[in-house]
Amino acid sequence: MHYQSPATVYWALKGDSPRVSKETAERIRAVARHCGYHRAAPVYEIISGRTRLLSAIYPMSSPMYSEIAQGASDGAQAEGFLFFHFDGSTGERINRALCATLERRAEAILFMTQPEHIESEVVQQCREKGIAIVCVQPHEELRDCDMVAADLRWGMQEVVRHLASLGHRRIAYLGCRHHAALEWMFEGYRQGLKECGLESETCFVPCGFAGAADTRAAIRETLQRGERPTAIAAVTDHVAAAVMQEAAALGLRVPRDLSVTGFADYPMGELADQDSGKAMLRFGDYLQPRLTTVRQPSNEVGRLAAGVLLARVREKWNGEPAASRLARQEVFVRPQLIIRDSTAPAPVY
């Protein structure tokens, strides 16, 4: 490669510049990569506070939230931003994550935590520092923040439509309604029944975690009724698995005697595949029969949430006054109904 002046090298490594041809810039970058060169943050970015750092707070044990975080990280990294990932499974851990966000001068936060875990005082400190916040489910404390979320109402409507198309009329909903996202799902269930002319058949069975004794008791009581449901729409895949276990214990066959659906289609990891190179294993694939469920568009939610975050960061960089900034963003992504083996035509008695 011919000698290049320091100025030419500078403009080539800085990025798109009309002062250097694309061919020359690419040759200079190739040499820089070969030499192990990594561009440091420009001084003006350090002084101005443009750290390009983002914070993702979520319960790391959750496959669904981890998939959202991965989508967000991919989207941010493509734009030259980096996410710090913090566990948000308890209020104490969220508080520590928010403090770390402030200490590291992160420019935005992606919240993926349960509403009851958020502490308003530290959130207010982040707002006062001009840190943008996007959440993936509704929060009372964050009601004025941007939100990118799966359309849970539509997903549950799809479940009811599917079951009704198989001739089911007595469709029970097993779940809880203690925060807005779960209320959305119940609204979707009721809207689906109304759309299918089954509004009078509404059957809500309150339950908690799949392994809880009261949840198991509620499932058994529902399955032992005189006119028991012929189909059960469960709030999660785990609750659906509990329904299948209790049905088997009572001698009921799924789906011949009882159709069961879940919600989430939790990812379990990747497996090598001869055709595509890799395939995602899902929780529902491990059940017998394989579970019909609604697949959350987690990766897409994360990618879109990152886009909204970066738009807010750039608004701040550009010094745009509040009046000219984008209105609160609320983006819903439709999930996908995955039909497997746990649903079948309604039994005839």
pLDDT at 280 over 90: no
Residue 311 pLDDT grade (very low, low, confident, very high; cuts 50, 70, 90): very high
Contact yes or no for 326/242 (Cβ under 8 A): no
Kindly give, in sequence order, each residue whose CB lies less than 8 Å from that of residue 84, ignoring residues fewer than 6 positions away.
Answer: 53, 54, 55, 56, 100, 101, 104, 106
By the 10 Å C-beta count (0-12 exposed, 13-18 middle, 19+ buried), 138 is classed as middle
Domain boundaries along the sequence of the chain: 6-39, 45-144+300-333, 152-297
End-to-end CA distance of the chain: 83
List pLDDT tens digits, range 157-206: 999 999 999 999 999 999 988 888 899 999 999 999 999 999 888 999 99
CB 301: neighbour CB atoms within 10 A? 26
How many Å separate Cα 336 from the centre of its chain? 13
Identical fold for domains 45-144+300-333 and 152-297, yes or no, is yes
pTM, rounded to two decimals: 0.82
Residue 128: both structure tokens together: 């006062």
| Mean pLDDT, range 54-61, rounded to an integer | 94
Cα 142 to Cα 150: distance, rounded to the nearest angstrom: 17
Whole-number pLDDT of residue 168: 97
List pLDDT tens digits, range 97-156: 988 998 888 999 999 987 666 666 777 888 888 899 999 988 877 888 999 999 999 999
Task: Please report how many Cα atoms fall inside a 13 Å half-sphere around the Cα of residue 132, on the Cβ side.
Answer: 26
Whole-number pLDDT of residue 253: 97
List pLDDT tens digits, range 255-273: 999 999 999 999 887 665 5
pLDDT at 42 over 90: no
CATH number of 45-144+300-333: 3.40.50.2300
- Cα dihedral across residues 6, 7, 10, 16: positive or negative: negative
Contact yes or no for 340/286 (Cβ under 8 A): no
Whole-number pLDDT of residue 115: 63
Residue 70: both structure tokens together: 């991965």
Assign 17 to helix, strand or coil. Answer: coil
Q: Which amino acid is at 253?
A: R
Q: Give the CATH superfamily of 152-297.
A: Response regulator (3.40.50.2300)
DSSP letter, residue 56: E
List pLDDT tens digits, range 197-241: 998 889 999 988 877 889 999 999 999 998 999 999 999 999 999
Cα 266 to Cα 236: distance, rounded to the nearest angstrom: 9
pLDDT at 57 over 90: yes
Angle formed by the axes of helices 22-34 and 6-14, to 10°? 90
More confident residue, 90 or 40: 90
Taking alpha carbons only, the member of 321, 268, 322 closest to residue 62 is 268
CB 185: neighbour CB atoms within 10 A? 23
Chain mean pLDDT for the chain: 88
Taking alpha carbons only, the member of 307, 142, 108 closest to residue 98 is 108
List pLDDT tens digits, range 315-345: 988 887 765 677 889 999 999 999 999 999 9
- Cα dihedral across residues 335, 339, 341, 346: positive or negative: positive
Cα 76 to Cα 106: distance, rounded to the nearest angstrom: 13
